[in-house]
Amino acid sequence: MVDDRRQWWDGTHARVVSVEGSIVRLSEPIDAGLKVKEKARIIGLFPGITTNGIGPPVCRKPTQDVVLRDLVLRGVNGRAGPYMDFTYSAVHLVHCFNARILNVSVFDWPSDGIGVQGGKDLQVTHCQVSKCGGNGFHPGTGLGRSVWSHNIGMGNSCDGLFLCGQVNDSVFSNSVFTYNGNSGIGGVGEFDDHHNVISDNVCSENAKWGINASDGVEHMISGNMLRSNSRGKPGVYPALRLHNTKRFLVQGNRCADDQDPPVQTCGIVESGDSDWNLVSGNLCVGMVEPVTVVGRHSRAEGNLGI
Which residues does 216 contact at the CB level (< 8 Å), separation at least 6? Answer: 188, 189, 190, 192, 193, 194, 244, 245, 246, 248
Q: Domain check: are 228 and 150 in the same one?
A: yes
Q: Domain check: are 177 and 33 in the same one?
A: no
> Which residues are registered as beta bridge partners of 244?
none
d(CA 101, CA 165): 21
d(CA 54, CA 185): 28
d(CA 99, CA 19): 38
Number of domains observed in the structure of the chain: 2
Q: Domain check: are 4 and 112 in the same one?
A: no
Q: What is the pLDDT of residues 111-149, one digit of tens each?
A: 899 999 989 999 999 999 999 999 999 998 889 999 999
Q: Domain check: are 145 and 20 in the same one?
A: no
pLDDT cut 90: percent of the chain above it: 64
d(CA 222, CA 167): 18
Domain range for 8: 1-42
Least confident of 25-34, 55-64, 148-157, 265-274: 25-34
Q: Domain check: are 125 and 250 in the same one?
A: yes
pLDDT cut 70: percent of the chain above it: 83
**Model confidence at 43, in pLDDT bands (50, 70, 90)?**
low
pTM here? 0.87
Which among 233, 235, 239 has a CA at the least distance from the CA of 212?
A: 239
**Averaged over 226-242, what is the pLDDT?**
96
Mean pLDDT of the chain: 88
Is the pLDDT assigned to residue 35 strictly greater than 70?
A: no
Q: What is the pLDDT of residues 192-219, one digit of tens each?
A: 889 999 999 999 999 999 999 998 899 9
In this prediction, residue 42 carries a pLDDT of: 61
d(CA 303, CA 205): 23
Which residues does 15 contact at the CB level (< 8 Å), separation at least 6? Answer: 26, 27, 28
In this prediction, residue 99 carries a pLDDT of: 95
Which residues does 22 contact at the CB level (< 8 Å), separation at least 6? Answer: none
